[in-house]
Structure 1
């Protein structure tokens, strides 16, 4: 009788183990705070990690993160080495994805990519941009025609730190990058808030980061439902990490003290009314 009980328990444990859902999300080995970064121990962290961990806790699945160099991440998805890729978009790497049935989640977080310039250059026309700093692998949306015509020369860097240094030394007329990430770097890591500012009058690109997959499109529907059903918790994470902070053209890229001042003014006006 005891032997039968032990066997039944063993079968239950095995059955539970087999049925547990486990997935691997391929993520970028990139310093891209506050969205995501890799700590000294090689662990994925930031807004995206907390968001996916929250989803895993709410849905009862197991998620692990495979950190890969950016150029290896898409091939890993296409070759089946990872179950999902983050971030992704249907507008990225279209030639590489041709013929592949890639599915995408709803937008996870919005972003703006654009040019940051020295404050005294803000508001100048695109004709004043002749040298543009870029990080390897990035595409300067809105500038390709002038680049092809030889009117803008691109200067590539290995990472954000090197690119920002070029722009601060005035080796270039501006730096093209994710505006929230670049501003976070200047404010919190380089400790040079306001040294470069986003110029919303220059061409810039708005989009959203998505979770993508080839094999698990049904899983994405569950993730989309999570984003909808837990909007308040997702919004709290976005607020905590400031990943969507001040994406309006008149606010994005502003130093924090200016944003705080604008909020105080807004509250004061509301009390008067």
Structure 2
């Protein structure tokens, strides 16, 4: 019978403890180089918004440091999957599924809920999808709800280089609607353009309700740690969401 204080038992105890150690290091997070405030915004190397506050708090509490690397959406997909960045935020398990095949990606629990839908002129709200002939979208994004309509030619996509361009094109009737995160577009209209209500969300048109997650296929243990943080800091996270008017 092996006693508890034998070298073998001591070694096993050390190995067990090591297996429970949490990865603590500099985490390289890939983010989108787009103004999506109040959820996230990258400008001149600075990341801000509700997502930034939540991720930074997580890092601080768990001994991590963060390095944000921003890319246009299409390039972010590439650099994430080739390992240039170790984590991605925001991510959604339903995004670019074909390109993610073969990768064992771990997604966190929901961080921020969102609605992606169509902002239209108030006079066009409720008129239905038949009036939607042209749909504006930020370059690199995909209007999944309209994939079939686009494919058969019922809806034509007009790409914009930024949220600012997208909103202004729609406001000037250059397209019939702007496909965007509703909270982000509403905030932009109210706080940046000072034109609240000039475009409104049409809930009768196809839209997606989902949530943003942190993801990684390199460090699933960090995602588990992040999930625990979301549980333990739920009250604090609620106040951050209220501060930024996100869900």
Q: TM-score range by the shorter chain?
A: 0.7 to 0.9
Q: Report the Cα distance in structure 1 between the residues aligned to 2:152 and 2:199, rounded to whole angstroms.
A: 27
1:30 aligns with 2:19: no
Q: Report the Cα distance in structure 1 between the residues aligned to 2:190 and 2:152, rounded to whole angstroms.
A: 35
Question: Secondary structure of the residue that 2:209 maps to in structure 1?
Answer: strand
For residues 70-112 of structure 1, the C-alpha deviation after alignment (integer angstroms, 9 at most, x for no partner) is 2222222222222211111111111211111111111111000
1:79 aligns with 2:69: no
**Counterpart in the other structure of 2:97:** 94
Q: Which runs of 4+ in 1 moved over 6 A?
A: none
Distance apart, 1:60 and its partner CA: 2.0
Q: Report the Cα distance in structure 1 between the residues aligned to 2:59 and 2:121, rounded to whole angstroms.
A: 42
- Give TM-score, length-normalised by structure 1: 0.79
Distance apart, 1:61 and its partner CA: 1.9
Question: Secondary structure of the residue that 1:139 maps to in structure 2?
Answer: coil
Structural RMSD (CA)? 1.4
Q: Report the Cα distance in structure 2 between the residues aligned to 1:168 and 1:231, rounded to whole angstroms.
A: 38
Residue pair 1:86, 1:209 contacting (<8 A) in 2 also:
yes
1:235 to 228, 233, 238: 238
**Counterpart in the other structure of 2:152:** 149
Distance apart, 1:209 and its partner CA: 0.6
Question: Secondary structure of the residue that 2:68 maps to in structure 1?
Answer: strand
- Within 5 Å, which residues of 2 pair with 1:36-115? 36-39=40-43, 41-115=44-118
**Counterpart in the other structure of 2:210:** 207
Question: Secondary structure of the residue that 1:238 maps to in structure 2?
Answer: helix
Distance apart, 1:218 and its partner CA: 1.1
Residue pair 1:77, 1:214 contacting (<8 A) in 2 also:
no
Question: Secondary structure of the residue that 2:189 maps to in structure 1?
Answer: helix
Choose between structure 1 and 2: higher strand proportion: 2
Question: Secondary structure of the residue that 1:37 maps to in structure 2?
Answer: strand
Q: Report the Cα distance in structure 2 between the residues aligned to 1:221 and 1:149, rounded to whole angstroms.
A: 42
Aligned length: 225
Residues 120/157 of structure 1: CA separation in 2 closer, same or farther (3 Å cut): same
Question: Secondary structure of the residue that 1:80 maps to in structure 2?
Answer: coil
1:127 aligns with 2:130: yes
- Give TM-score, length-normalised by structure 2: 0.87
Q: Report the Cα distance in structure 2 between the residues aligned to 1:80 and 1:174, rounded to whole angstroms.
A: 36
- Within 5 Å, which residues of 2 pair with 1:160-199? 160-199=163-202
1:223 to 218, 222, 226: 226
* Structure number with higher relative contact order (C-alpha < 8 Å, ≥ 6 residues apart): 2
For residues 50-84 of structure 1, the C-alpha deviation after alignment (integer angstroms, 9 at most, x for no partner) is 11111112222222212222222222222222221
Distance apart, 1:20 and its partner CA: 5.4
Structure 1 portions without partners, runs of 5+: 1-18, 245-273
Q: Report the Cα distance in structure 2 between the residues aligned to 1:187 and 1:172, rounded to whole angstroms.
A: 20
Q: Report the Cα distance in structure 2 between the residues aligned to 1:105 and 1:20, rounded to whole angstroms.
A: 17
